[in-house]
Amino acid sequence: MVGGLNTHRRMIARLSAAAGAPALSVAYRMLPAATLPEMVDDCLAAYRHLLDLGHPADRIVVAGDSAGGFLSFATPLQAIRDGLPAPGGIVAISPLTDLDHTAKLAHANLLLDPFIPGSRLPLLNDLLLADLAPDPLHSPVNGALSQLPPTLIHCGSTEILRVDSELMADRLAQAGVPVTLVIWDRQPHVFQIFADACREGLRSLTELGAFVRALPATRASGNRDTAA
């Protein structure tokens, strides 16, 4: 519902510099103008665009924060389902990964998160899914995760989406996907966007960039193509 190219430009620029890769920032349609499948379609179109330009899939890293973190998993899953190759890596910052909010509503962080009104998350589903029948596969945590690439997840210790970050990390590990989850002590939702005033945010972006640099395809080639 909020955010876009301008709100995230500085954070993406920092991540791009840390990764040593140009970044394609996707202005996907958002609520209330678009439903979840339309958002995924927009991100998938951006991924297809990079492939059509000749960027090898294993040198593309898909990254996102919050709702974009949801899309950073949903887009590769849809790409694989459509017969496209998986990207070389996934970077997720405070991602929403599960549209079943039962565990979040029962977690202590429901009362600690200063940004996301966790009790209203169920209302989000009505907007995201509109007239679609409920389906567990709408949540990336329930997808065919074994084909996903190496993944790095960063989140704050007191935010409600810590629950989703931990669940996705567990599911990826169970599926045999190399995954690392870093939980930053007492940091709020997407604290990386405050890197100008928050040294933890800057450190996090530096670590996320180092992860991209260390991915097998990019390490072997000596340079990265695109982080989307």
Task: Sketch the domain layout of the chain as residue ranges.
Answer: 5-227
The reported pLDDT for the residue numbered 131 is: 84
Q: Which amino acid is at 154?
A: H
Report the CATH number of the 5-227 domain.
3.40.50.1820
In sequence order, the β-bridge partners of residue 183 are 155
Interatomic CA distance for residues 21 and 106, integer angstroms: 40
The reported pLDDT for the residue numbered 224 is: 53
Interatomic CA distance for residues 182 and 126, integer angstroms: 31
The reported pLDDT for the residue numbered 1 is: 82
| Residue 197 CB partners (closer than 8 Å, separation 6+) | none
The reported pLDDT for the residue numbered 126 is: 87
The reported pLDDT for the residue numbered 132 is: 87
- 3-11 long-range contacts (CB < 8 A, ≥24 apart) are 3/30, 3/66, 4/30, 7/193, 8/65, 8/193, 10/193, 10/195, 10/196, 11/65, 11/192, 11/193, 11/195, 11/205
Question: Of 16, 101, 189, 204, which residue is the catalytic one?
Answer: 189
8: annotated active-site residue:
no
Interatomic CA distance for residues 25 and 152, integer angstroms: 19
38: annotated active-site residue:
no
Give pLDDT tens digits along the chain (228 positions): 888 899 999 999 999 999 999 999 999 999 989 999 999 999 999 999 999 999 999 999 999 999 999 999 999 999 999 999 999 999 999 999 999 999 999 999 999 998 999 888 989 888 888 888 878 889 999 999 999 999 999 999 999 999 999 999 999 999 999 999 999 999 999 999 999 999 999 999 999 999 999 998 765 555 555 555
Question: Of 8, 55, 138, 159, which residue is the catalytic one?
Answer: 159
- Length of the chain, in residues: 228
Q: pLDDT tens across 66-85, in order?
A: 999 999 999 999 999 999 99
Please provide the average confidence, as pLDDT, over all residues in the chain: 93
Q: Which amino acid is at 56?
A: P
159: annotated active-site residue:
yes
Interatomic CA distance for residues 211 and 167, integer angstroms: 21
Question: Of 66, 72, 165, 204, which residue is the catalytic one?
Answer: 66
Burial 96-135 (b: 16+ CB within 10 A, else e): bbbbbbeebeebebbebbebbebeebeebbeebbeeeeee
Q: pLDDT tens across 178-222, in order?
A: 999 999 999 999 999 999 999 999 999 999 999 999 998 765 555
